[in-house]
């Protein structure tokens, strides 16, 4: 199977490039991204958005929340109730009344219009509206989250592909040493212990390769779960972008969909608290009614109109408890908003620190990899031709070179991963990577 890998590179310094205020306001950013890479990312992200059941659920909830507003608004209009009575038979003792005759079926109409309710309907509408906003923010959050998960898994797949390539080279090198020593021990049995050492290193290398192969398969499975299709990365794909600055992320944290959702839910709970308190007060209605039922003289009733006052004077404390519960939920939503914002700000600083530390480590590991590569070559020559080094020195040098190469790849991908997490924290996945979601 053809081995493919993605080369990810950051062009700017670890401190990032501070975006101008105009760029922050307009949402335009120069990420120095290759066109082919952007096309691939857009394709995979759109596949994930189209396939994701989470997006479908969030979209349905968003639609339902909009209908909930219409449902609550309907209470402002006159409520018309129609009724019909169709007597079928009379039985038992007593005199028969006119209304019990089969021919005396009657119809009724009752129109109730709320005149004054202490703002209950207004507050219910406000609560439903904020819930609709919360559902819309949740829908946007799910889109951002699916895009982030897709990009993160692409980075992980890149990590494992590169580690797989390095480990395959390490296994090949250990196998060469084992084969070489196998031939040597046929003429020099005294070096059999060196063959045992080489075989042990080969088994360790093969174990590492199997572990990395499993990690790659898991990443491919996760990408297939996200997109609905098997994902392969083309060769020589170059993903370059500037690291997002902490100043830009902090300026956008308050616009994150999860925070906006928490804020909308807190406001919805406040409206609901006010509506619950208003429902415990007297409500004034205007009533218009008419029934075709006939009295004892065979005459139908007249139209009736008047004012009606409804007041639940005593409910066993249930309305008071409902108001207190609603107020407690509103307080909890406010605390949740504050906690979420504080956690996100902490995460921004933590991710920035991790990204910058990973970049420093990556530079050091790159230098160290070059040095250990030279050391392994020198030790090998000194062992094979001059006899100045033991096989253990050679194996140790080979192992150090392998570990440093893997550490370099992991540090580089930690930079990419943390930077994408920062972009997601700023809720700028689509803007930063110039993606145009189709949903």
- pLDDT band of 90, cuts 50, 70, 90: low
Mean pLDDT score, 230-242: 73
| Selected residue with higher pLDDT from 21 and 60 | 60
In angstroms, what CA-CA distances link 285 with 75, 289, 315, 364, 381?
12, 13, 21, 78, 100
- Which region among 67-76, 131-140, 232-241, 311-320 has the lowest average model confidence (pLDDT)? 232-241
**Among 360, 342, 340, 368, residue whose Cα is nearest residue 411:** 360
CB 422 within 8 Å of CB 249: yes
The residue to which tokens 């396939």 are assigned: 51
- Residue 287 pLDDT class (50, 70, 90 cuts): very high
Q: What is the pLDDT of residue 16?
A: 35
Inform me whether the pLDDT recorded for 15 exceeds 60. Answer: no
The rounded radius of gyration (Å) of the Cα atoms in the chain is: 36
At 113-168, the pLDDT tens digits run: 888 989 899 999 999 999 999 999 999 999 999 999 999 999 899 899 989 999 99
Please report the pLDDT score of residue 163 as a whole number. Answer: 93
Q: Which of 139, 125, 141, 142 is nearest to 70 (CA)?
A: 125
How far is the C-alpha of 227 from the C-alpha of 51, rounded, in Å? 6
| Average pLDDT of the segment spanning 235-257 | 80
* Largest Cα span, the chain: 131
Strand bridging mode 6-10 / 237-241: parallel
Q: Which two tokens stand for residue 42?
A: 């857009």
Confidence class of residue 96 from pLDDT cuts 50, 70 and 90? low
Which tokens is 345 given? 């700000």
Residue 251, pLDDT above cutoff 50: yes
Mean pLDDT of 340-366: 87
Find the range with the poorest average confidence among 228-242, 276-290, 388-402.
228-242
pLDDT digits 0-9 by tens, 401-421: 899 999 998 988 888 888 889
Question: Bigger pLDDT: 223 or 99?
Answer: 223
Q: Which of 11-20, 258-267, 338-347 has the lowest mean pLDDT?
A: 11-20
**Which positions ≥6 away from 429 have C-beta within 8 Å?**
144, 147, 148, 151, 423, 435
Least confident span in 330-334, 346-350, 419-423: 330-334
Beta bridge partners of 283: 310
Structure confidence at residue 237 (pLDDT):
64
User: By mean pLDDT, which of 96-100, 194-198, 224-228, 407-411 is the weakest?
Assistant: 96-100
Q: What is the pLDDT of residue 60?
A: 94
């Amino acid at each position: 199977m053809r081995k493919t890998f993605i080369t990810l590179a950051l062009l700017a310094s670890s401190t990032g490039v501070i975006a101008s205020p105009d760029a922050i306001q307009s949402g335009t950013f120069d990420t120095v991204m290759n066109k082919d890479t952007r096309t691939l990312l857009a394709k995979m992200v759109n596949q994930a958005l189209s396939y994701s059941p989470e997006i479908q659920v969030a979209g349905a909830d968003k639609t339902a929340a909009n209908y909930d507003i219409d449902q609550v608004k309907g209470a402002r209009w006159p409520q018309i109730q129609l009724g019909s009575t169709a007597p079928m038979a009379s039985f038992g003792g007593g005199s028969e009344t006119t209304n019990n005759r089969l021919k005396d079926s009657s119809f009724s109409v009752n129109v109730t219009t709320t005149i004054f309710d202490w703002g209950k309907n207004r507050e219910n509408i406000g609560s439903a509206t904020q819930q609709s906003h919360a559902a819309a923010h949740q829908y946007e959050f799910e889109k951002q989250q699916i895009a982030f998960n897709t990009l993160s898994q692409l980075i992980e797949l890149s990590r494992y592909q590169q580690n797989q390539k390095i480990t395959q080279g390490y296994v090949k090198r250990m196998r060469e040493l084992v084969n070489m020593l196998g031939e040597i021990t046929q003429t020099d049995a005294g070096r059999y212990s060196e063959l045992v050492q080489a075989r042990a290193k080969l088994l360790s290398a093969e174990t590492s390769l199997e572990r990395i192969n499993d990690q790659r398969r898991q990443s491919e499975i996760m990408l297939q779960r996200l997109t609905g299709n098997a994902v392969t990365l083309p060769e020589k794909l170059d993903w370059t972008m500037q690291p997002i600055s902490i100043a830009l992320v902090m300026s956008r944290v308050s616009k994150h969909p999860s925070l906006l959702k928490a804020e909308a839910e807190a406001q919805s709970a406040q409206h609901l608290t006010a509506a619950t308190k208003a429902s415990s007060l007297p409500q004034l209605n205007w009533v218009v009614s008419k029934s075709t039922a006939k009295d004892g003289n065979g005459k139908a009733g007249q139209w009736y109109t008047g004012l009606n006052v409804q007041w639940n004077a005593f409910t066993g404390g249930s309305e008071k408890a409902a108001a207190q519960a609603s107020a407690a939920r509103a307080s909890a939503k406010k605390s949740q908003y504050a906690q979420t914002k504080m956690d996100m700000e902490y995460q921004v600083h933590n991710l920035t620190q991790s990204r910058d530390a990973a970049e420093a480590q990556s530079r050091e590991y790159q230098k160290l990899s070059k040095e250990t590569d030279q050391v392994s070559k020198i030790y090998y020559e000194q062992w094979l031709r001059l006899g100045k080094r033991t096989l253990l020195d050679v194996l140790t040098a080979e192992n150090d070179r392998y570990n440093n190469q893997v550490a370099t790849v992991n540090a580089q991908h930690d930079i990419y991963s943390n930077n994408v997490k920062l972009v997601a924290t700023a809720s700028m996945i689509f803007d930063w990577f110039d993606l145009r979601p189709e949903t």
